[in-house]
Amino acid sequence: MKGGKLQGHVHSVFRNACNIECDELFITLLTKGKKMSPMSVIVGGVEQVDFIDLNITKGLIFELSENKIYCTQKNLFISMNNAKKWSPRSENNASECSENQLLENIKIIEQGLKTIGKHYGMGPLVNMLFNKSPELELVTFNECPFDKSFEFIKDRFMNFIQGLMKADMDGIGGKAQSVIGFGCGLTPSMDDFISGLMITYIYMGSYYKLNLEQIYEFNSKIISSGLNKTTRVSSEMLKHSSVGETNEAIQGLMAAILNFNGDNDDENHKSIIKALIEVIEYGETSGTDTALGIYVGLKILTNLRYRRVWLNESMCRY
């Protein structure tokens, strides 16, 4: 963007978010208080912005330059002069905690998800995994009726998960394609789940010093055939997640899981639950679906059998 100018149009508008489509780019304006996300701009200032009250409508033209975003049709102007840059990739992929602590932290996530998650998006399918893949030692989530839509997707989902566990580099694209776009919502539940999985693979890859290059390649294969099978908002999310770019809340949760937070167990527990809550609060079930993806990803990669395939060659010799 340096020195240049872009033109885009409003793709969708909500009270707290406004998506602008500029050719290949998809930029989201967010109101104050929202968590920062990849390719997003939080609109600051003393007053709370409401994009619907501002009468921003679909199709409206916005121009974007290095120091401002503006819409002449509505006389709207957002100055970027004092904008703080934010990285969608966590600077701190620290692996501060021991593996035992990591396992403890996963238990906290497990209990938190059981207690405060909204499971009707992906919960029934994760419950199914509990039975089909006992070696993952998952827990089940209550009150998740397995209706006909889950019957419809269950075999494809299992196929995808098996491809994931086996690190099926060649087949994973097709397997993912057969499930991407499943579920209600602007980001369908399955896409949120896959997004959580991909992010976890990258963070855990870094934690266990796995072959990150291969993990990135695997993630790119996951999304290789599915991006046009889902909504624009969701395909953008998947693209970012596949390279480890995600919103502040998920970054915070991953950091909380991979570290020992505070001075004692109680503080650690509190900070993990707090981070989990921030993720769960996204959308109706989106946050829980993403957290479930993270949870399943954690369970797969803490299992040596499935982690082994990602070990660097040099490490395999041990």
The footprint of other proteins on residues 218-247 (CB under 8 A) is 228-234
Q: How many CB atoms lie within 10 A of CB 212?
A: 15
CA 196 to each of CA 66, 114, 263: distance values in angstroms, whole numbers, following the listed order? 31, 17, 28
Judge residue 3's burial from the number of C-beta atoms within 10 Å of its C-beta, 0-12 exposed, 13-18 middle, 19 or more buried. Answer: exposed
Give the Cα separation of 23 and 117 in Å (integer).
Answer: 36
| Distance in Å, CB of 151 to other proteins, minimum | 9
Site residues for other proteins, 177-196, by CB under 8 A, read 178-188, 190
Q: Could you tell me what percentage of the chain is helix, strand and coil, using 3-state DSSP and rounding each to the nearest 5?
A: 50, 10, 40
CA–CA gap between residue 47 and residue 238 (Å, rounded): 32
The two tokens of residue 176 are 């993912």
> Do residues 234 and 188 touch, judged by C-beta distance below 8 A?
yes
Using alpha carbons, list the distances in angstroms from residue 79 to 8, 63, 66, 76, 245.
17, 12, 10, 10, 25
Output 92 or 149, the one with its CB closest to other proteins. 149
Q: Does 152 bind other proteins (CB under 8 A)?
A: yes
Binding mask 266-305 for other proteins (x = CB under 8 A): x--xx--xx--xx--x-xxxx-------------------
Exactly one of 1, 7, 55, 58 binds other proteins (CB under 8 A); that residue is 58
- Least distance (Å) between residue 281 CB and other proteins: 5
Judge residue 303's burial from the number of C-beta atoms within 10 Å of its C-beta, 0-12 exposed, 13-18 middle, 19 or more buried: middle
| Nearest to 124, CA basis, from 100, 101, 97, 145 | 145
Task: State the nearest-atom distance from the C-beta of 186 to other proteins, in Å.
Answer: 6
Q: Does 115 bind other proteins (CB under 8 A)?
A: yes
Q: Which CB, 65 or 110, lies closer to other proteins?
A: 110
Give the whole-angstrom CA distance, residue 141 versus residue 144: 7
Residue 309 CB, nearest approach to other proteins (Å): 28
Of residues 5 and 15, the one with the C-beta less far from other proteins: 15
Minimal distance, residue 149 CB to other proteins, in Å: 6
C-alpha 121/C-alpha 150 separation (Å) is 10
Closest distance of CB 262 from other proteins, Å: 13
Which of 211, 251 has the CB closer to other proteins? 251
> Nearer Cβ to other proteins, position 238 or 301?
238
Using the contact rule CB under 8 A, the part of the chain among 45-53, 127-135, 197-205, 239-247 near other proteins is 45-53
For other proteins, the binding residues (CB under 8 A) are: 12, 14-15, 32-33, 46-48, 58, 111-112, 115-116, 148-149, 152-153, 178-188, 190, 228-234, 265-266, 269-270, 273-274, 277-278, 281, 283-286
